[in-house]
Structure 1
Amino acid sequence: MKKLLLSTIAVAALSSSAFANSNTGCGLGSVLIKDQSTTVMQVLAATTNGTSGNQTFGISSGTLNCSQPANFASNDKLNKFVADNMDELALDISAGKGETLNTVAKLMNVQDSSTFSAKLKSNFSNIYASENVTSSTVIDSIAKYM
């Protein structure tokens, strides 16, 4: 009886995955297993993606059939720069211009820095919501206006 129940659950899980979404995600499995037209191949691709542990690398680097989010702002240089220059950045954002603000725009791969600076200036009170705001909160707030 146990075997029958386990078999039924396994078949249901496999068949529902075929109807739910044929996209198994990005990662090594999506690169190695090109033909994912069957449930078995989709499960194999998803398992390879899950067990190889490389989706985080693929997403952050834009490789392995992954793409970076549009407002990707999670890099060490940006985090360190903002943490080291919180006061200068606050002054630049409030003025809508400055060397520190330009550097942040470059680190965040902003194409139109003048529009970006104007958006940040008009939202200064949201970015620096309190005197005790952290650099990670500032980065997250800035990323909203990219």
Structure 2
Amino acid sequence: MKKILSLVAVIGLTTSIYANDNTGCGLGSLIIKKQDTVALQVLAATTNGTSGSQTFGITSGTSNCSKPNNYVSNDKLNRFVSENMDELALDISAGHGETLATVAKLMNVEDNAAFSSKLQANFTSIYSSENVTSATVIDSIAKYM
């Protein structure tokens, strides 16, 4: 029993070291609101880890978690950009166009004019070589949002 408790404590401490704000988001952060001692932080982190709620919370944006803005995981955006790399390059260099407007829509951009202008000004860093990948283009575009 002591070995199990020691293992749980080590896992909890390790999780709390690497998690956001010591214990991160998830069920533990919902149940244990005041985490002012190491023991409470370990308990919250262990609850997050053992319940699987932290992973679910991060993907869904629930349980005190924020959903990351990682556009590379957006399948529609990935497919569209990879199928339209040349057209997108032309639109970005011109500062307008149908392909650029579609990318803006897929990325939930509110101000298309400012977005297009910013991308046009940074065209050479977005399309840094003729062998640039669509994932790199998307990551570069996301930097200018």
TM-score, structure 2 as length reference:
0.75
Aligned position for 1:131: 130
Aligned position for 2:50: 51
Distance in 2 between the 1:56 and 1:76 partners? 20
Query: How many Å apart are 1:22 and its aligned residue?
Result: 6.3
Aligned length: 132
Residue deviations 1:9-54 (CA, integer Å, cap 9, x gap): x7xx97xx7xxx9642112221233343443222111112233344
Query: How many Å apart are 1:87 and its aligned residue?
Result: 1.3
Query: How many Å apart are 1:122 and its aligned residue?
Result: 0.8
Gaps of 5+ in 2: none
Aligned position for 1:140: 139
Distance in 2 between the 1:122 and 1:97 partners? 12
Distance in 2 between the 1:141 and 1:31 partners? 35
Aligned position for 2:82: 83
Residue deviations 1:62-117 (CA, integer Å, cap 9, x gap): 21111234x54232221122112111111111111111111111111212111010
Aligned residues of 1:31 and 1:64 also touching (Cα < 8 A): yes
SS of the residue 1:67 aligns to = coil
Identity of aligned residues (%): 76
Distance in 2 between the 1:103 and 1:75 partners? 14
Distance in 2 between the 1:22 and 1:60 partners? 18
Distance in 2 between the 1:123 and 1:138 partners? 11
Distance in 2 between the 1:111 and 1:132 partners? 30
2:66 matched to 1:67? yes
Q: Give 1:1-146 correspondences, 5 Å limit.
A: 23-69=22-68, 71-73=69-71, 74-146=73-145
Distance in 2 between the 1:40 and 1:98 partners? 57
Q: Report the AA paired with residue 125 of structure 2.
A: N
Aligned residues of 1:22 and 1:42 also touching (Cα < 8 A): no
Distance in 1 between the 2:106 and 2:36 partners? 40
Gaps of 5+ in 1: none
